[in-house]
Amino acid sequence: MTRPALDNRGARRLFLHRHGLGITPTGPGKGADLLALIQSLGFVQIDSVNTLARAHDMILYARRPAYRPGHLQRLIEKDRALFEHWTHDASVIPTDYLPHWQLRFRRDAERLRSRWPRWQGEKFLKELQQVRDHVTAHGEVSSAELKAEEAPTSTGWWDWHPSKAALEYLWRSGELAISRRQSFRKYYDLSGRVLGSCPVPEEAETLDWLMQGALDRLGFATSGELAAFWDIASAQEARDWCAAALARGEIEEVEIQGADGAMRRCFARPGTLEGAAELPPAPARMRVLSPFDPALRDRKRAERLFGFHYRIEIFVPAPKRIYGYYVFPLLEAEQLVGRIDMKADRDSGNLQVTRLWPERGISFGKGRRQRLEAELDRVARFAGLDRVVFGPDWLAEPK
């Protein structure tokens, strides 16, 4: 039987539409509009690096130019429409999804207990109980505040002090929730006081919700990609779900063409590929993406679709870096056309562009440079900077 197939252009277009990058970036970027955007993405990764703006702010700005960081803070801390927890990394997640995060809490608790064997039995339980009692009696607390109360002779897990490890465990297991951040420092309180109570679905119901939600947001995927999306279900659970959904006719096998021309077997909902043919082209506007953008989170998938090999080099020693410490990918229409090394110089008010590397086969002529400069001007304003300054020899040859 011949499977439905989608060429690479159509696959990229579908991929970008499912990730909120296939339409002209517009909208108020706050309140219900911002919440709806995050719900459509599933979650937004949080990262502390702030060479220009934090990752979550760049992700939301790329889709809503009117967005400002305070809009997200209100949804988290005032409206409680979002909460912070873990997917593949720390993320903000719609609070409506909290019932299905109960499975995550249980599984994280089991994993963390098995990874921290140095704290066993009474010592481990005593520290957890001390932190529980403190938060119950005194309300929200930060790790630094608890550390100040510890005995100087206490020893912790890894390089963490004991109360920090206990806070992490209680947060990951769902007993505590992050109530707010101050200068990116986390404050924890009892989950019930922050988020209220919620029903606990059966495990099978949650696994189905996870797989359905991942497929809706990816458009097409292998079972492994479905499992990795939320990073809660196991690879085997995803394979089992795909087999059962295929037998029920809820999904079908399709062939997706990569940037190298190779076809890859994936799963999609019936009619997805036909619908992809009706999607409009992505706008020609150039956009600066965060290295942690949902469209790039799965590096291998992005490389297959766009031929764009990206690795963040924060932890690579400077002499060994191919590009730079924190390099931003550039999206234009339906292509990733380059990457740019730049940072905010707050003292001078400059957005300092150090280097831009076009992708192979891409030239930055007059028209493309104008689109880039227009986008950099917008990004600079978003970051609270006055101007864009290009360094000498900022435009490199393609690698």
Question: What's the rounded Cα separation, in Å, for the pair 159 and 141?
Answer: 20
Q: Is the dihedral of CA 209, 210, 212, 217 positive or negative?
A: positive
CB distance 22 to 271 below 8 Å: no
Please give the DSSP secondary-structure letter assigned to residue 97: G
Question: What's the rounded Cα separation, in Å, for the pair 299 and 305?
Answer: 10
Question: What's the rounded Cα separation, in Å, for the pair 169 and 131?
Answer: 11
Q: Tens-of-pLDDT digits for all 399 residues of the chain?
A: 689 999 999 999 999 999 999 999 999 999 999 999 999 999 999 998 999 999 999 999 999 999 999 999 999 999 999 999 999 999 999 999 999 999 999 999 988 877 655 554 566 677 788 899 999 999 999 988 887 665 444 444 434 566 778 888 999 999 999 999 998 899 999 999 999 999 999 999 999 999 999 999 999 999 999 999 999 999 999 999 999 999 999 999 999 999 999 999 999 999 999 999 999 999 999 999 999 999 999 999 999 999 999 999 999 999 999 999 999 999 999 999 999 999 999 999 999 999 999 999 999 999 999 999 999 999 999 999 999 999 999 998 877
Q: What is the pLDDT of residue 399?
A: 75
- CATH 1.10.10.10: which residues of the chain? 98-148+160-195
SS3 37: helix
Q: What is the pLDDT of residue 149?
A: 61
Tokens of 300: 């291998």
Longest dimension (CA), the chain: 70
Q: Is the dihedral of CA 361, 309, 398, 368 positive or negative?
A: positive
Question: What's the rounded Cα separation, in Å, for the pair 296 and 330?
Answer: 11
Amino acid type, 112: L
Q: What is the pLDDT of residue 146?
A: 81
Tokens of 126: 């005593």
- CATH 3.40.630: which residues of the chain? 286-390
Ramachandran sector of residue 200 (left: φ over 0; alpha: ψ -120 to 50; beta: rest): beta
Domain at 286-390: CATH architecture:
3-Layer(aba) Sandwich (3.40)
Q: What is the pLDDT of residue 398?
A: 79
CA distances to 141, 253, 296, 309 from 300, rounded to whole Å, are 39, 20, 9, 8
Question: What's the rounded Cα separation, in Å, for the pair 231 and 104?
Answer: 9
Q: What is the pTM of this model?
A: 0.93
CB distance 308 to 302 below 8 Å: yes
Question: What's the rounded Cα separation, in Å, for the pair 359 and 363?
Answer: 8
Q: Determine the straight-line distance between the first and last CA of the chain, rounded to whole angstroms.
A: 42
Q: What is the pLDDT of residue 119?
A: 52
Partners of 221 in the β-ladder: 267
CA distances to 271, 343, 350, 352, 386 from 347, rounded to whole Å, are 54, 12, 8, 12, 11
Q: Which residues of 164-189 are buried (b: 16+ CB within 10 A; e: fewer)?
A: bbbbbbbbbbbbbbbbbeeeeebbbb
CB distance 206 to 213 below 8 Å: no
CATH match for 98-148+160-195 among 1.10.10.10, 3.40.50.300, 3.60.70.12, 1.10.10.60: 1.10.10.10
